[in-house]
């Protein structure tokens, strides 16, 4: 168990904008930060972070909370794992307890896969450094590549012994279940036999953006023609190769800082570049670039530079990834190395200054690079030249920004010596074809002609008046609960003619005291369970401390309540409510006084309950006997009178 003192220290130290900044590129927006949602595929930033309140809200998915909630949501951490992650990030000492066999068995399957993967990483690293085979084969290989001990440690490089089941037997002895070893792909099970997948290979752990071990890449060092040179972990619940970039954990901060990401092909390319000092570099690990991988980069930067081998045979095929990057609204540059060189060898053979200068001078905008590459292939062949131009316009058509499209069309015309009118016409044809194709696809999904289908009627979502009013009360308490205000209280009295009226009376009170006493007097209870629990938490806090320190208050709430508070506070910053008066909910603008907002909300809530009572009585009239019916009708009349008085008072407040 982690002590409460340690948890408090973690919350006091951790900054939500710093932690989320490791996963999402944030830009200043007033007193807050904004970025693209890490939970949905969006082009316009709707993800907000409040440094003042130490909370975040993703308006595209509706998720929100504090710094721990983000890690639990984004990285699928458990609560203790999120605390441990933050403690490690901020250098806070934390008391770790050894897991018992029983605790390991109780762990969820997903967490068990992470535990097994972490154990394997440590085992391979230890084997590399301390076993005779590891030092003689594995470490020698890494040293020949020029990797330092510091680099080997940083990337947790390792070695899997050239034995059939060395790792599997070691894991089983340490109480790790065979089923999890098989599900991670570390162990292959055939009948009653079990053997190691990565037998006799140097190991490259593949980490998530937060540093969790997802899987492994293993390189064989023998000349066995039957075995694949590189072998990756198979797909599992925690490892999806299309959604992972090798090196992203080590590169993320520099990518955001430099506002650029270098994309290479292999593990050693990443490591060698990083060791040389180019730290904003990642790899797709030998797989074709996917939209999910691109979106991973897009959270951190809009700028990608593709680094290719000088003599890469599949360079044209690799260029297909350019269109995928452009579709995400990102900027693409391409750089190739001299013939016979790749990022690994070039970084190894040159100084940081030389590598940096080379990248700056040789990175070309995608349109210039594609033009020069395809033009060389076309030579003086007019047909091939036409295909080349069409290929370039196809790439330009993927760009969502029309201004960028026009700039690139003009650049393409200049490079290829062709009129802009022809290029714009070709672009328009391509875009029109895309629309037609999308229309045909949509049309195939609708009913066939001559089939009579009634148009479904649009249903308007009914506003839950009580929910909105309860939410407003929580908001008022959170924002203004500690403030003292002058209130015009309403004393119920009967006039000489027997009618009901309210007598105004001025009182001075703190907002939370006024709300609490009025709701208690009317015996009003919250219908929403999460609001009910939150209401009493706020009242108790204000009663004891006289003011809510939002940062610590949110951190101490149960997850559901903390999420509700986050939504209320962040919605208050982003949205301004309008046209609610048509639904008889009069929400005051911020420039009005606090006392007016409080009174208006309480009066609205009272009127809501009066309306409910009138409807309830009206529904029972037909079931009553004559005498009882007259009594009920009199009650309805009295409540209607009360409603009129409340409405009149509301109009004066509003």
The model's pLDDT over 154-168, given as tens digits with 9 standing for 90+, comes to: 999 999 999 999 999
Residue 510: per-residue pLDDT = 86
Is pLDDT at 632 greater than 80 in this prediction?
Answer: no
Q: Does residue 362 sit in helix, strand or coil?
A: helix
Q: What pLDDT shows up at residue 591?
A: 45
Domains of the chain as residue ranges with CATH: 4-89 (3.90.580.10), 105-239 (3.90.980.10), 248-435 (3.40.1360.10), 465-653 (no CATH)
Q: What is the pLDDT of residue 103?
A: 57
Query: Would the pLDDT of 121 be above 50?
Result: yes
Q: What is the pLDDT of residue 454?
A: 54
Name the residue with higher pLDDT: 206 or 284: 206
Higher model confidence: residue 274 or residue 59?
A: 274
Is residue 279's pLDDT more than 90?
Answer: yes
Please tell me the predicted confidence (pLDDT) of residue 592: 56
Read off the pLDDT band of 579 (50, 70, 90). very low
Cα(331)–Cα(505) distance, rounded to whole angstroms? Answer: 65
pLDDT of residue 577: 42
Query: What pLDDT, on a 0 to 100 scale, did the predictor assign at position 463?
Result: 66
Cβ neighbors of 35 (< 8 A, separation 6 or more) are 20, 24, 25, 26, 27, 45, 47, 49, 299
Quick: pLDDT tens for 67-105: 988 998 888 787 888 888 899 888 888 876 665 666 555
**Residue 497 has what pLDDT?**
64
Q: How distant is the alpha carbon of residue 476 from its chain centre?
A: 29
Taking residues 371-378, what's their average pLDDT?
71
DSSP 198: T
- Residue-level pLDDT at 99: 59
pLDDT band at 578 (very low <50, low <70, confident <90, very high): very low
Give the whole-angstrom CA distance, residue 158 versus residue 152. Answer: 8
| pLDDT over 90, % of the chain | 32
Terminal-to-terminal C-alpha distance of the chain: 53
Q: Can you give the pLDDT at residue 462?
A: 63
């Amino acid at each position: 168990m982690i002590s409460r003192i340690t948890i408090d220290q973690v919350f006091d130290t951790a900054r939500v904008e710093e932690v989320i900044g490791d996963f999402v590129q944030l830009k200043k927006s007033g007193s807050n930060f904004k970025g693209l949602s890490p939970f949905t595929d969006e082009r316009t930033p709707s993800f907000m972070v409040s440094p003042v309140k130490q909370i975040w809200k993703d308006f595209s998915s509706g998720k929100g909370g504090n710094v721990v909630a983000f890690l639990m949501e984004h990285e699928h951490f458990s609560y203790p794992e999120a605390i441990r992650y933050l403690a490690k990030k901020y250098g806070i000492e934390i008391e770790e307890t050894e897991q018992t066999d029983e605790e390991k068995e109780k762990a969820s399957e997903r967490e068990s896969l992470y535990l097994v993967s972490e154990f394997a990483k440590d085992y391979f690293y230890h084997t590399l450094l301390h076993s005779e085979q590891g030092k003689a084969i594995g470490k020698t290989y890494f040293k020949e590549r020029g990797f330092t001990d510091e680099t080997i440690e940083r990337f947790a490089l390792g070695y899997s012994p050239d034995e059939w089941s060395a790792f599997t037997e070691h894991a089983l002895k340490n109480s790790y279940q065979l089923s999890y070893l098989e599900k991670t792909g570390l162990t292959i099970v055939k009948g009653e036999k079990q053997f190691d997948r990565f037998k006799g290979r140097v190991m490259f752990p593949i980490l998530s953006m937060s540093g969790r071990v997802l899987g492994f890449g293993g390189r064989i060092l023998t000349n066995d023609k039957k075995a694949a040179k590189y072998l990756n972990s198979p797909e599992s619940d925690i490892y999806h190769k299309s959604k992972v970039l090798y090196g992203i954990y080590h590169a993320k901060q520099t990518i955001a800082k430099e506002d650029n990401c270098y994309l290479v092909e292999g593990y050693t390319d990443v490591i060698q570049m990083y060791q040389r000092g180019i730290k904003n570099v990642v790899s797709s690990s030998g797989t074709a670039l996917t939209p999910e991988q691109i979106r991973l980069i897009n959270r951190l930067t809009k700028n990608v530079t593709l680094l290719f081998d000088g003599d890469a045979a599949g360079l044209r095929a690799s260029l297909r990834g350019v269109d995928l990057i452009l579709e995400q609204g990102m900027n693409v540059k391409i750089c190739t190395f001299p013939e016979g060189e790749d990022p690994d060898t070039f970084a190894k053979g040159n100084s940081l200054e030389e590598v940096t200068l080379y990248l700056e001078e040789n990175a070309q905008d995608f349109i210039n690079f594609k033009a020069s590459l395809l033009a060389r292939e076309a030579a003086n062949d007019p047909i091939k030249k036409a295909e080349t131009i069409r290929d370039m316009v196809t790439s330009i058509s993927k760009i969502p920004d029309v201004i960028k499209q026009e700039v690139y069309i003009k650049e393409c015309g200049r490079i290829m010596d062709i009129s802009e009118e022809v290029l714009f016409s070709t672009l328009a044809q391509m875009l029109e074809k895309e629309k037609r194709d999308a229309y045909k696809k949509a049309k195939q999904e609708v009913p066939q002609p001559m089939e009579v289908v009634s148009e479904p009627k649009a249903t308007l979502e009914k506003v839950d008046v009580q929910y909105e009013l309860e939410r407003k009360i929580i908001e008022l308490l959170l924002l203004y609960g500690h403030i003292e205000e002058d209130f015009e209280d309403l004393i119920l009295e009967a006039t000489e003619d027997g009618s009901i009226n309210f007598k105004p009376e001025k009182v001075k009170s703190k907002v939370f005291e006024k709300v609490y006493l009025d709701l208690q007097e009317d015996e009003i209870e919250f219908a929403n369970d999460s609001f009910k629990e939150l209401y009493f938490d706020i009242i108790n806090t204000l009663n004891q401390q006289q003011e809510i320190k939002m940062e610590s208050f949110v951190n101490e709430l149960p997850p559901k309540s903390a999420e509700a508070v986050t939504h209320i506070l962040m919605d208050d910053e982003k949205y301004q409510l309008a046209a609610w008066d048509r639904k008889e909910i009069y929400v005051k603008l911020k420039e009005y006084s606090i006392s007016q907002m409080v009174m208006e909300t309480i009066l609205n809530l009272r009127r809501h309950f009066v309306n409910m009572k009138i409807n309830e009585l009206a529904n029972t009239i037909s079931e009553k006997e004559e005498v009882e019916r007259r009594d009920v009708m009199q009650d309805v009349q009295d409540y209607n009178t009360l409603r009129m008085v409340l409405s009149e008072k509301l109009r004066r407040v509003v």
